[in-house]
Amino acid sequence: MKHSFWCGLGALLLAAPAQAQSLAGVWQGVETETGQPNEYWPAVLRLQKSKGTSLFGVLYEEVGGRPGISATFQMKGTQTGTNLRLEHGEKLNETGRTFGTYWCDGSITFTYDPALEKLTGHATYKPKGDCSVGTYTFYRIKLKSAATVPAGVESSIRVSGRNVLWYADADLKQPLVAGNTYRTKLTQTTTFYLKQGYYPTEQSPVVPITIQVTGKAPQTPPPPPVAAVPPDTARPAPAPAPIVSAKPAVLPTVLFQMGKPELLPESSPALDQLANELKGRPALKVRISGHADKVGEPEKNLVLSEQRAEAVKTYLVKAGIAAERISTIGYGDTRPLYPSPDVRNRRVEVEEMPQ
C-alpha cells in the first residue's frame, strides 16, 4: 500500500492452509480498508516453495486507478503449523515515485479458504507516518475438477478464482466463456488460458489449465446414403435472411478484443452482409447499439459499449454506407441477455429506425 505523503507498504504473515496444502502459486487481489476512504491497491502475490517449510516470492502492488504508480518487493518466510510469515526483503522496482510519497512495510495475517482458493489478510504496518492497517483479499486460479476427461463426452471443467475469463489461445484473442465452469466436449488434450477480472493489474497472470483426454470419441453411425440430385441451375441460391428489422437484432458473429473496441476478423461476414442490405435499401436508416458484460466498472463498460457501436459504424461507412444513415448508442452493462458474467452479453445489436 502506498500513501500520499505519509504512507507505505508491508511484509506478509499468512496462515498456512489446513493439511499443509501448498500456498505456492500466483494470487491476484486487492488491498483495502487502510483508513483512506475510497482508496484501493490492486496486487499480485507470487509464491514458490523453498527448502523445508520455507516460501519465497514477490509482491507487486499498484495504486488503484493509477497503474503507473507501483512497487515490487521480495518476500520470504517460513510456514509453522497453520501459519506462514513472509517478510519483505529488497524493493525490486518502483514506478511513479513523487516527492513526499513512499511504501509502508509490516506484516499481514491471512486465513486460507481451500474451497475458494482465497486468502483474506489483515495488515499491521510499522509506525511510519499514518501507516497503520489494511485488508488483503487474494484469489488464485486452480483446477477443481478432474484433470482427465473421456473423449467426446460433455464434461464440466471447474476452476477456482474470481471473475474468471477463459480463452482458447495464449494471446487472449479467442474468448470462450466467463465464470468458474466451462462445459465442453474434448476430443484431444487441450490447454485453456485463464485470467481473473478481479482487480486486474499490469502484471495480472495468464494461467494455463491443461485437460488430458483419454479414449476415443463415441462413433455415430453414418447417415444412410442419399441419392444424388442434379443441381437446379435455373434456380439461384436463396438469399441470406435479412438482418435489419424493427426490433433489435443481435449480430452474433460481431466480436471484439477483450476489454477493447477493436473488431475481430471473424466479424467481417456479418458486417458485409449488413452493408449489402443497406445498399439494397437506400432509404433505410439504422441504429447500432453496443452492450457490455458486468465485468469491470460500469462507467468504463458504458464508454466501451459506445466505442464498439462506433467501430461497427466506421466499418459500414468504409463499406460505402452514408454516415448519416447510421446512429449509435451504448448501454454499457445495463441490458444483459444472460446472467452475468457471460461473454454473450458483450454484443452489438442493429435495428431499423422509423422514417
| pLDDT, tens digit, 9 for 90 and up, residues 78-106 | 877 667 788 888 889 999 988 877 788 88
Asked whether residue 137 carries a pLDDT value surpassing 90, the answer given is: yes
**C-alpha dist (Å) from residue 15 to 107, 126, 351:** 12, 20, 56
Q: How high is the pLDDT of residue 7?
A: 40
- What architecture (CATH level 2) is domain 249-352? 2-Layer Sandwich (3.30)
In contact, 119 and 96? CB cutoff 8 Å: no
Question: Can the peptide bond before residue 341 be classed as cis, meaning omega within 30 degrees of 0?
Answer: yes
Placement of cell 501448498 in the chain: 22
Residues 6+ apart with CB under 8 A from 265: none
- Each residue of 19-43: pLDDT tens digit? 467 888 899 999 988 888 888 999 9
Domain boundaries, the chain: 2-139, 148-214, 249-352
Q: How high is the pLDDT of residue 225?
A: 77
Higher pLDDT, 25 or 13: 25
**For the domain bounded by 148-214, which CATH number is listed?**
2.60.40
The CATH class, in words, for 2-139 is mainly beta
pTM above 0.75, yes or no: no
